[in-house]
Structure 1
Amino acid sequence: MDSDQFTTCPLCDSCLPLSQLTGHVNFHFWELQHDFDLPTIIQRSPNVDSSPQSLPREQASTVSLSGAKYSRGGETSSENGECKVNDRISCLIVSQTRCEFHKVEAGLMTLFKNCLESEIGNSISILSGYVDHFQCLESEDAGWGCGWRNIQMLSSHVLVQRPEARKALFGGSGFVPDILSLQRWLEIAWEKGFDPLGSAQFNHAIFSSKKWIGTTECAALLRSFGLRARVVDFGPKESQSIPGSSADNAGNETSVHLVKKKDKGGRGYQVLMDFVWNYFLDENSIQFGQKHVVISEKTPLYFQHDGHSRTIVGIQVNHQQKRHLQYNLLILDPAQSTAALERSLRQKVGWEELIKRGMHTLKKPQYQLCYVDPGIASEGEVEKLKTIDSIFLEF
C-alpha cells in the first residue's frame, strides 16, 4: 500500500489512503440506498476541534441527506422505516474491502518454524498453523488499531485452517476485511444483541472512530458469525470485577480443564504460562511435528493487557539445569513492521528479540486472552453466546 497518498472523504471527513477512497465512498452510497445510518458529518469551525475523540459520546449530531435523517449511535429513522439487520449484512458483504498487507512469500509461520528448528538447545516449541501478520500503519491506525490488527491475525488463521468457519466468517468472502469493514461488522454484531454491555460502553457506534477495543469486542464480532470465541481473564483475586469477567464460570467446559492449578508457592504469572502451554499442547489439536517444533491446529491467542494487545502464535519451553523449565511466549506484535520481521526471520538474525517474550516480561497486573474453539454454534447456542462471560484465573 502506498502510505504517502492520503485524502479526506467528502462525506464524513475521514482521512484514508487514496486507494481506499472509492470503496469508502461507495459505502456511503450503499447506506443511503438502504437507509443506513451515516457517520456524523461535523460542521467545521475555526474554534472547534472536529476530531472524533473530542466529541462526547452522548452527543447525537445529525445530517439530512435526500430527505432522510441519519443519527449517530446506531438509531436510524427514515421515511422507509428502520433498516433491517439483514439488509445491512447484504450491503456490507458487497461493499467490504479486503485489507491490504505485506504478504510473506512461503508464509511467515514457515519462516518462524525454520528459525525455531535451527536453534541449538533442549527446547520444545508449539506453533499455530497459518497466521498472517497485520501491522499498524503510522498513517492509518498507529496508537489505537492494535486490537483490530489482532482480530485480522486471528481471522487469517481461521479462514485458512477451518473450512466450516471460512463459509460463515465475513459473509463467506474468504478474505480478511480492513478496519473500517470490521468496525461495521462489530456494529452489526451489537445490533444483533451480542455483548449489549460492551455495546453500550461505545454508545453502540464504532465505525470510522479511533476508539480502542479489546478481547470482548473480538469475541462479540466472531460470535456473531457462530464462532465459539472464548475469553480468559488473569489477575489478582480483587480484579474479578473486570467488565466481562466472571469467576462463576470457572467450571465452564471451555478449555478450563487444560489449566494446571497454581500451587501456593508458585509464581503468579506461571498460571498464564501454564494455560498457554496446555492450550497449544492439546493432544487432539497436534497436527505434526518435526525435530523439536510441533504445529498445532489451535487458533492464535488475542493477548490483551493495559495499553496494548498482541497475538500469541505459540509457546516454547526450554529445559534448564536442575529440571527447571523456562517458558517463552511466541508473539506477533502489530506494532512491528512485517517487512522487518520477515527480513529478520529469513536472515535468522535478531528474530528472537522480536518474537520471544519470557515470563520476566509479564509485568502488568491483569491480562486477557481470546481464542476460538472448533466448530460452528447451533442456533440455540448462538443465543447463549450473546453474553460475553469469561473464565477467571487468579495469579
Structure 2
Amino acid sequence: MDYSYCPVCENPIPIHEIERHVNHHFEDAEVAKDMELAQQIALAPPSPPQIDRSFCLDIDPESVFEEVPESSTSRDQRSVSSSKDEPKDIDEKICYIISLQSRETFYKVEVGIMTLLKKCLEHENSTSLLSGYVDHFQSVKSEDMGWGCGWRNIQMISSHLLMERPETRSVLFGGSGYVPEIGSLQKWLEVAWQRGFDIVGSNYFKGKIYGSKKWIGTTECAAILCSFGLRAKIVDFGGKGGKGVGRAHGPMDKFVVRREVDKKEAPAKFGDGSANNSKGYQALIDWVWTYFAKHESNESRHRVVVTNKMPLYFQHHGHSRTIIGIQVKHQKNGLKQYNLLVLDPAHSTEALESSLKENFGWQKFLKRGLHTLKKPQYQLCYVDPGIAQAEELEHLKNFTGVLTEC
C-alpha cells in the first residue's frame, strides 16, 4: 500500500485516505474556534442595564428585523437589521438596537488628536481656543465616501460627549458607553423621529433612513441628540430674508439653497458666495470665537487654552465638518487673522496624525481662514450641558434655529 505524509501532522497516511485525513484536521480547527468563541461570549460582561429588557425574551428577533438586501448593505448597515414588521412599542425597538449595535471601528490616535494639535499650536505666535477630547472618524471609500460626512461628524461629537461629559454616558446610545457604527445611528434617528423629534425632517424622509445613502445635516444631528435628552441647539448664519434661513428643520439640502443675487446689488451680502464678502462671514467667526471664549479656565493668558466647550457640527451646502477650535493671530497692521480649526471626515486620520507628530503640513488639514468661507449659508449645532427631563424634553422635539443675520 502506498503512503504519503500528512502536511499537518506529518504522519504517514495511505494515499487513498490522505484528502479525508487533511480535511479532518481543518474541521477540528473550526470546531475549536467555535468553542473558543462560545466561551468568550459566555464570559463577556452584560450590556449596561439602561432599560428593562425582560420583555424581549418572549420576542423572536426574526419577527422584528430582517436582513437588508445585499446590494444595498455595507458593514455598518448589516450590524442592525432592517425592519420587516417593526413593533409599535418604541421600547422594543430600543432594546434591539442596543443588543445589535456595535462599536465603530476606526483608526484611533493613541496620544489623541487634540493633544498633538495643542503641541503644534504652542509653537505658533497666536492664541488658540480648543475643545477637549475628540476622536477623528474618517469616511471610508468602500462604505460611506460621498454621503457619510454627517454621520461621521455625529460620531466625532459623540466621542467628545462620552469622554468629557459624564452625564451623557448613561443616556447616549442606550448607555453603551461607546460610539456606534453608522447603521445603528440611522436606527437611532428613526426612533427619534417616531418619538416626535423633528417631525418635518421625519416627513421628508418618510420616517426611514436606515440602509440609505441620503445626506443628513445639523437637524438630524440635533434630533438624535435631543432624543437622548441632550440640549442640542442650532444656529443659522445667513442674510436677512434669504430663502431657507431661520428654519432649523428638514434635511441638509433643504436649508442650504443658494440665492439668486442681483448683480447690481452692492455691497455684497452674507450668503452670495462673494470672495470679497469678509464682513458677513466675520459674523460666523466672531460667534465661534465667543462660543469657545465663554469657558471656565484660568489659562486665559496661555497661547493654547483647552476649554470646556464641545466641538461644533459645521454644515454648509454639500458637506459638513467638525469645528474643534479657533485661532487668532495679531498682525503688525493691528488687524486680527482668524482660523477655524476643523476635523474633516474626508481626510485620512493616519495622514493627519503623521503631520501633527512631525509638526509639518498639518495646517492644510485643520486650518480654515475667513477667505475659505464662500458658501451661501452655514449652520452650527452644539449641546448645552445637562440632561433634559419631562416637560423640557417635550420642548426639545420642536427645535428651531437661532438666526444670525449679517
TM-score (norm 1): 0.75
**What SS is found at the alignment partner of 2:201?**
helix
Equivalent-residue separation in structure 2 for 1:112 and 1:162 (angstroms)? 21
- Confirm or deny: 8 A CA contact 2:341 2:367 kept in the other structure: yes
Which one has a bigger Cα radius of gyration?
2
In the alignment, which residue of structure 2 is the partner of 1:270? 282
Task: Give the partner amino acid of 1:142.
Answer: M
Percent of residue pairs bearing the same amino acid type: 55
Q: How many residues align?
A: 317
Q: Is the 8 A contact 1:34 1:87 kept in 2?
A: no
SS of the aligned residue for 1:363 comes to: coil
Contact 1:319 1:326 in 2 (8 A): yes
RMSD: 2.6
Task: Give the deviation of 1:341 after TM superposition.
Answer: 0.1
Secondary structure at 2:215 match in 1: coil
Query: In structure 1, what is the equivalent of residue 41 of structure 2?
Result: none
Give per-residue Cα distances to partners, 1:63-109, cap 9 Å, x unaligned.
xxxxxxx66xxxx47xxxx4310011111111111000111121110
Native 8 Å contact 1:300 1:371 kept in 2:
yes
Shift of the 199–38 alpha-carbon distance from structure 1 to 2, 3 Å rule, reads farther
Other-structure match for 2:294: 282
Give the TM-score of the pair, scaled to structure 2.
0.73
Q: Does residue 298 of structure 1 match 2:309?
A: yes
Give the C-alpha shift of residue 286 in structure 1.
3.4
**Aligned match of 2:61:** 33
Q: Which amino acid aligns with 2:358?
A: Q
SS in 2 for 1:328: strand
Deviations 1:261-319 (A, max 9, x none): x9xx9700011000000000003x43756830001111100000001000000000111
In structure 2, runs of 5+ residues without a counterpart are 1-57, 74-82, 250-269, 271-276
Match of 1:196 among 191, 199, 208: 199
CA shift for structure 1 position 230: 0.5
Please state whether the residue corresponding to 1:340 is helix, strand or coil. Answer: helix
SS in 1 for 2:213: coil
Task: After superposition, give the CA deviation of every residue in 1:228-248 in whole Å (9 maximum; x if it has no partner).
Answer: 0111111111226347339xx
- Which whole-Å CA distance do the structure 2 matches of 1:287 and 1:31 have between them? 55
Match of 1:87 among 85, 92, 99: 92
Name the residue aligned to 2:138: 135
Aligned-pair CA distance for 1:51:
5.8
Q: Is 1:214 the equivalent of 2:217?
A: yes
2:59 and 2:145 map into 1 onto residues whose CA distance is 28
> Which of these residues, 289, 294, 310, is aligned with residue 321 of structure 2?
310
Q: State the match for 2:379 in structure 1.
A: 368
Match of 2:53 in 1: none
Question: What is residue 171 of structure 1 aligned with on the other side?
Answer: 174
For residues 371 and 95 of structure 2, the distance between their equivalents in structure 1, rounded to whole angstroms, comes to: 48
SS in 1 for 2:287: helix
Counterparts of 2:238 and 2:216 in 1: how far apart (Å)?
A: 19
SS across alignment from 2:121: helix
Match of 2:405 in 1: 394
1:358 is aligned to 369
1:99–1:176: 8 Å Cα contact kept in structure 2?
Answer: yes
Question: Structure 1 CA distance, aligned partners of 2:392 and 2:64?
Answer: 29
Q: What is the correspondence of 1:1-395 to structure 2 with a 5 Å cutoff? A: 33=61, 35-36=63-64, 38=66, 41=69, 76=85, 82-119=87-124, 121=125, 123-239=126-242, 241-242=244-245, 244-245=247-248, 267-283=279-295, 285-286=296-297, 288=299, 291-395=302-406
CA contact 1:134–1:334 (8 Å) conserved in 2: yes
**Distance change (3 Å), C-alpha of 1:311 and 1:287:** farther
Gaps of 5+ in 1: 1-29, 43-49, 53-69, 247-261
Q: Distance in 2 between matches of 1:38 and 1:279?
A: 45
Local SS of the residue matching 2:145: coil
SS of 2:327 mapped into structure 1: strand
Report the CA distance between 1:37 and its aligned residue.
5.4
User: Aligned AA for 2:97?
Assistant: L
Provide the C-alpha distance between the structure 1 equivalents of 2:247 and 2:185, rounded to a whole number of angstroms.
21
In 2: Cα distance, 1:297 partner to 1:36 partner: 42
Partner Cα separation in structure 1 for residue 354 and residue 191 of structure 2: 39
Q: Partners of 1:142 and 1:187 in 2: how far apart?
A: 22
The residue that corresponds to 2:254 in the other structure is none
